[in-house]
Amino acid sequence: MADDDERSGSQDKAEKRPRRRVALQMLTDRPREPERRKFVVAGTTLALGGFAWSSVTLSGASQTTTEERLAPVRPPSASRVDTTFQQQCIRCGLCGTVCENGCIRFFDLDEPAYGAFTPYLDVRRRACTLCMRCTQICPSGALTPIEDDFDSIVAAVNMGPAEVEPELCLSYQGRVCGYCHDACPLPGRAIRLQPPALPVVLDDCVGCGQCVEACPQTPTAIRIPRRSA
């Protein structure tokens, strides 16, 4: 009986071996065209992804290069030569502690091109109210003391001037706006409205940015493109 069982088991194994060989042969001989298509599709996807990434990267680099031509908007009476201001500023932070409107911010440690920990103004976020407190507390001479008087401010402060972009300005597009004029602390001296309500920046503009903060357009139709002298 045992011999019969052993012979039966051997026969079963012998029958299974050819079946396995046939199955393996079928897998080996299976058409490879779908695999080739997958390879081509994957390669094309990677190529397009790389192209898109490089386009974004180059575009970002181009934008950064353009932005680097403009110096940051600094607090009132800072030197127009931005490297000079960076050398004079001792990074004490006192200007920010007395700022009436809390508009003075500071560059981070990872922004050495603009002077880490030096003050600047993001006038779109919050503009300068021309209180002149920062100029009066600066201990290093990076900011020159200026009296809180409009005539003194116009004579000594030059953070700007502002520039209007007609293609973005609502008034230049046929809609009456005037927000920039209404926000200006020196209306008629720094900015005026030319009929029909077209904003025109004048020589007494000091670049406080109140017009930029008030502009309802996004992106803003008026800005302070501070250019280092």
Please indicate, yes or no, if residue 62 is contained in any of the structural domains: no
Q: How far apart are CA 195 and CA 64, in angstroms?
A: 37
Domain membership flag for residue 84: yes
pLDDT tens-place string over residues 168-212 = 999 999 999 999 999 999 999 999 999 989 999 999 999 999 999
* Domain contains 76: yes
Average pLDDT on 24-46 reads 48
Q: Would residue 3 count as lying in a domain?
A: no
Mean pLDDT of the 138-165 span: 95
Residue 117 is assigned to a structural domain of this protein: yes
pTM for this prediction: 0.68
**What is the pLDDT, as a whole number, of residue 158?**
93
Domain residues for 179?
Answer: 70-223
Please provide the average confidence, as pLDDT, over all residues in the chain. 80
Residue 82: inside a domain, yes or no? yes
Region 92-102: what's the mean pLDDT?
Answer: 96
For the cut 70, the answer to whether the pLDDT of residue 60 exceeds it is no
Domain contains 156: yes
Q: CA 195: distance to chain centroid?
A: 35
The yes-or-no verdict on residue 68 having pLDDT over 50 is no
Number of domains in the chain: 1
Q: What are phi and psi of 2, to 5 degrees?
A: -60, -40
